[in-house]
Amino acid sequence: MRRKLAAGNWKMNGLAASLSELTALSDAISPDANTDVLICPPAPLLFRASDMANGIQIGAQDCHSNLEGAHTGDLSASMIADAGASFAIVGHSERREGHHEDDSDIRGKARAAHSAGLTAIICIGESEEERTTGKTLDVLGTQLAGSCPDDATATNTVIAYEPIWAIGTGKVPTQEQIVEVHDFLREKLVARFGDDGSNMRLLYGGSVKASNAATIFEADNVDGALVGGASLKASDFAPIVTALQAS
């Protein structure tokens, strides 16, 4: 059985004072042996967040594909691990778009994360235009194949499906659309990775809130969520964690 994962991506939000939300979150949720809870704060908070995590896992929002060297301003996967984090998100659509990252860059980042002992959360997702012109599965198949390195296992890799048009918009795909995509991704992962593909966790992301989480988590191949806005406050994120635990 796959462990569930409730992951919060704070994006470029949060100062040191926001770390009190981590304490509030661990107070608000009951530990569950089958559910991981993860917060990915901005990089300057990684050390302190890891120190006070209290059962909550900590992750970064990106890493460089090289292990070290002359890359001013970048973070290596080993620096992230050294800060106490255990996950790194790679290939978020905001980085694909804002930093022109392509599948091959993201594959390199995931490989770097793996070599530092981190679990990579590889994000993929279609644009609204790709959705309306019927290209969703083609686009996702290409992104999955290109972004996922050959060394991916069920332990070191999580895939997050985040339709770009659903991120921060309040628009959520229908349950049928989520099931169609997640079943398709599962099929592709099993074809490529066998048992690891069956056991690799698949998250849905894009406007997940306490009010829609339980329905989204009903789908067999949805193993959790990658949550942006609703992860910033413990009072918004805790009910999502609870809905996942109950699913």
240 binds ligand 13P (CB under 6 A): no
Neighbours of 72 (CB within 10 A): 4
Binding mask 206-235 for ligand 13P (x = CB under 6 A): xxx-----------------xxxxx-----
- 92, 126, 130, 182: which one is catalytic? 92
Residue number, 112 or 216, with CB nearest to ligand 13P: 216
Alpha-helical runs (H) found in 92-221: 93-98, 103-115, 128-132, 136-147, 175-193, 195-199, 210-216
Measured distance CA(186)–CA(182) in Å, rounded = 6
Contact set for ligand 13P, span 171-210 (CB under 6 A): 205-208
Q: How far is the CB of 166 from ligand 13P (least distance, A)?
A: 6
Three-class secondary structure of residue 14 per DSSP:
coil
Please tell me the distance from the alpha carbon of residue 31 to that of residue 7, in angstroms, as a whole number.
15
Of 90-119, binders to ligand 13P (CB under 6 A) are 92
Q: Under rule CB under 6 A, which residues in 20-79 are in contact with ligand 13P?
A: none
- Is-catalytic flag, 100? no
CA 199 to the chain's CA centroid: 16
162 is catalytic: yes
Residues at the site binding ligand 13P, with contacts judged by CB under 6 A: 9, 92, 162, 167-168, 205-208, 226-230
